[in-house]
Structure 1
Amino acid sequence: MFLTALLLLQSAALPSFQEVQLRDCIKLARSDPNSAIVNADIMTRAGGGYLADICQAEAHASARDYPKAADIFAKAAALAASAKDDRAANLWAQAGNAAIAAGQNANAITYLTKALDGAGQPPQKRAEILIDRARAQVASDGADGNDVAEDDVAAANADLAEVRRITPDNGLAWLLSATLARRSGDLANAQNYIKTAADLSPSDAAVALEAGNIAAAAGAYRIAREQWQQVIKIAPDSPQAQAAKILLSELDAIEANAADTGSETR
């Protein structure tokens, strides 16, 4: 009797054939997305359902076809939710990420909100989704020449505040909070947030770049120069270093103009 029960438990724990197909298809999607799409089509014709959709979405994401990946992830998430599959929340989050990459920010917010509605997420995972939703809420800033609506800024601030509460050691949340505060003209909070980010990630080029940006916004050009020079020391070949070099050139021009007019920079 005991042996029979043990065998039944072992049998129940074994993955289904379709789950094995999905695992192999996702692995293939990371190295050969086109072949993975073909495999996913075969899975679909064989009745693979939303498991086949998951593979399709992974493959399109690997191929950088983010609009299609977002649509298919969302379809798979809805079907998984109907099936009470615990993967539904993660699939909504993946749909949201793909939508951000596709520039579909409204869709991203919808998908990420559905992901957050899922129960039982650990704080770190919930923090990741909140950060992504905050990114989507302000993603239009500078992208299309339009200002971000006050409601979107408030919503992003609320999401980042929640991340800081549930994962206070999340350096990215403090960095993004600092950036958003600077763009909103709230330099006092920007300085507080970036100080915490720097304490958590003292060798992060992105943090040093933003620290310089905040200092420059406050008119503290000497500190801004020091921070931007630090960016280049930390990660000389990074995109942040390239941005810092441009900002340093602009600062040189400001200081040269100030010298010509007899004014001073701090």
Structure 2
Amino acid sequence: MSQVSMILAFLIQVGPNPAANDNLGVPDELLNRPPRQSSLEAAQNPTTAWLEECLDLLAQDPARAHSKAQIRLTETSGADRIIANHCLGLAATELGLWDDARTAFIAARDETPMDEQRTKARFGLMAGNAALGAGDQDDALLLLQTAQENAKTAASATLEALAAMDVARVLVALGRPHDAFVPLSRATLLEPEKAEPWLLTATLYRRLERLDDAQEAIEQAARLAPLEGAIGLEAGLIAVLSGRDEAARQSWQSVIDTQPESPAAKTAEDYLEQLGPAPETGQTSNP
């Protein structure tokens, strides 16, 4: 394995999961990075050691990490420069500097060798989510569609499905909900045992008032992740819009029972309050 390939393989491990959240706000996944794997420590060289140091600094002092990465960019080339842009993009994300983050991730993607399509896809997903953070939905769509193509070339079903879901979210935000079914269908095909694409499909059908289709999709999601709060919330919304108030109450109550301290439980409580108590049954009127 070449030095560049080895470094990029390490980078994939320390980078964030690029999947975005459902409400098209600040992308959580750019802020939450998985822990680095100790098995890589033995293979460290000065470049990966620098990346670890910069990433560790992010949690303590993102502004300093941002400056550190900028300085590194002026002193390096090749894989070192890719790594510097990677850390610069993450530091800019922590600071809410979305345009800076997008620029850094695009630079990292463009400087990644052509035979590293999977890494290009990850950087493209990060850049697309940064564009969303900046409120630039048109550019986000282009970046995410390119990332999806990179992932497809790399034969990475997981990354392609993540990109497809992000593309669908942006299409909805751009007022093109019917177009969003194409990438969502691709995501469910690539990852049929993952709940998230089914949940997004159910939500889209519900928003388009296709409630039978929404019910079918949410049942698939619930089968795959029965304790997921977002699925319980969506199942309740579909039920109440279908005139099945008691089923809605049961769905929302299950969220409260299984995740009593979660934000989803608070939302479920609000929904139940809006729906009101169940009608009393079994009572007879006085003569």
Q: Give the TM-score of the pair, scaled to structure 1.
A: 0.79
* Contact 2:144 2:166 survives alignment (8 Å): yes
| Residues 246, 137 of structure 1: alpha-carbon distance in 2 compared, 3 angstrom cutoff | same
Structure 1 stretches lacking a partner, 5+ long: 1-7, 141-147, 257-266
Does 1:38 find its partner at 2:67?
Answer: yes
* Contact 1:204 1:234 survives alignment (8 Å): no
| Residues 102, 237 of structure 1: alpha-carbon distance in 2 compared, 3 angstrom cutoff | farther
Matched residue, 1:261 = none
1:189 to 190, 193, 213: 213
User: Displacement, 1:19?
Assistant: 4.7
Matched residue, 1:124 = 158
User: Displacement, 1:28?
Assistant: 2.6
- Alignment RMSD, CA only? 2.7
Structure with greater contact order relative to length (CA < 8 Å, sep ≥ 6): 2
Matched residue, 1:74 = 106
Aligned amino acid, residue 198 of structure 1: A
Matched residue, 1:51 = 83
User: Displacement, 1:93?
Assistant: 1.0
In the TM superposition, structure 1's runs of 4+ consecutive aligned residues that sit over 3 Å from their partners are 12-20, 48-51, 83-86, 253-256
Structure 2 stretches lacking a partner, 5+ long: 7-42, 281-287
Matched residue, 1:262 = none
Q: Which region of structure 1 is more displaced relative to structure 2, 231-240 or 187-196?
A: 231-240
User: Displacement, 1:40?
Assistant: 0.8
Does 1:238 find its partner at 2:262?
Answer: yes
* Contact 2:121 2:159 survives alignment (8 Å): no
Report the structure number with the largest CA radius of gyration.
1
Task: Determine which structure has the larger helix proportion and give its number.
Answer: 1
1-structure distance, mates of 2:60, 2:160: 29
Aligned amino acid, residue 147 of structure 2: A
User: Displacement, 1:215?
Assistant: 0.4
2-structure distance, mates of 1:206, 1:65: 29
- How many aligned residue pairs are there? 237
1:249 to 269, 273, 284: 273
User: Displacement, 1:60?
Assistant: 1.1
Matched residue, 1:157 = 181
Identity of aligned residues (%): 30
